[in-house]
Amino acid sequence: FIEPDLGQALVYIPVLLGMLLVAGAKARVFAAIALVAILGGVVAINSPILEEYQRQRLTVFATQDDKSGAGDPAAYNLNQSKIAIGSGGWFGKGYRQGSQTKLAYVPEQYTDFIFTAIGEEFGFAGGATILLLYALIVWRGLRAAALSRDLYGTLVAAGITSLFLFQVFQNTGMTMGIMPITGIPLPFMSYGGSTMISSAISLGLLNSIHMRRFQ
């Protein structure tokens, strides 16, 4: 059966944009893509393409500052996530001491909302450390793309790095309410064998491109 996994489908957009950017695509190409994306989004929102739960996620994201909807069941995940991260403070409550995560107030805390547990138990310092490590991987990916000996290697490295950056930004952003909630996992952190294997393969390709830069 075909699953309506909109989140995973969206990851192809930053991959395309990253590869077009390093390939030297003209500004009108990006303008055309932006126009198509806007029109496609409008059509999708006003058609049966989107599932009801996907519409609810977009509505919650757009109206999260409206206190009148604080009790909306569709906003439960986001509200609990923001409470957990905010209660973590600078250095967190300690490993396995977070009330929101330990008592399972935050659903899917080991998969999509793993960053919520990090924020509550290890605080701003722990979350910032994780993001800095991700930034290091992104920097190494960009370096591999810049030093590749051929265009193919550059495009592959740029695509992988763009994918990785988008996954991190989307996943961590949705736990804090700056991005809509999707099912995109946090690389190397979210539970799941397939995402772990694909992330490891991606880093392996980046290392291979970087290793062969002088061959």
What digits encode the pLDDT tens for the residues 13-71? 889 999 999 888 898 998 998 898 888 878 777 777 777 777 777 777 777 766 655 55
Decide if pLDDT at 139 tops 60. Answer: yes
Q: What is the pLDDT of residue 134?
A: 95
Neighbours of 183 (CB within 10 A): 15
Q: 121 or 45: which carries more pLDDT confidence?
A: 121
pTM: 0.85
Q: How much is the mean pLDDT over the chain? A: 85
- The answer to the question of residue 105 being in a domain is yes
Query: Which of 23, 15, 13, 25 lies closest to 152 in space, CA to CA?
Result: 23
3-class secondary structure, 113: coil
Decide if pLDDT at 1 tops 50. Answer: no
Rounded average pLDDT over 94-111: 80
Domain total in the chain: 1
CA distance 159 to 17: 8
Query: Which of 187, 188, 146, 147 lies closest to 163 in space, CA to CA?
Result: 187
pLDDT (tens digit per residue) in 175-196: 888 888 888 889 998 888 888 9
CA distance 77 to 177: 10
pLDDT class for 140, splitting at 50, 70, 90? Answer: very high
- The answer to the question of residue 1 being in a domain is no
Give 52-58's long-range contacts (Cβ < 8 A, gap of 24+): 54/4, 54/6, 57/180, 57/181, 57/182, 58/180
pLDDT (tens digit per residue) in 9-25: 788 888 999 999 988 88
* Residue at 213: amino acid letter: R
Domain of 199? 6-211
Cβ distance 62 to 93 under 8 Å? no
- The answer to the question of residue 103 being in a domain is yes
Query: Which of 118, 101, 100, 98 lies closest to 189 in space, CA to CA?
Result: 118
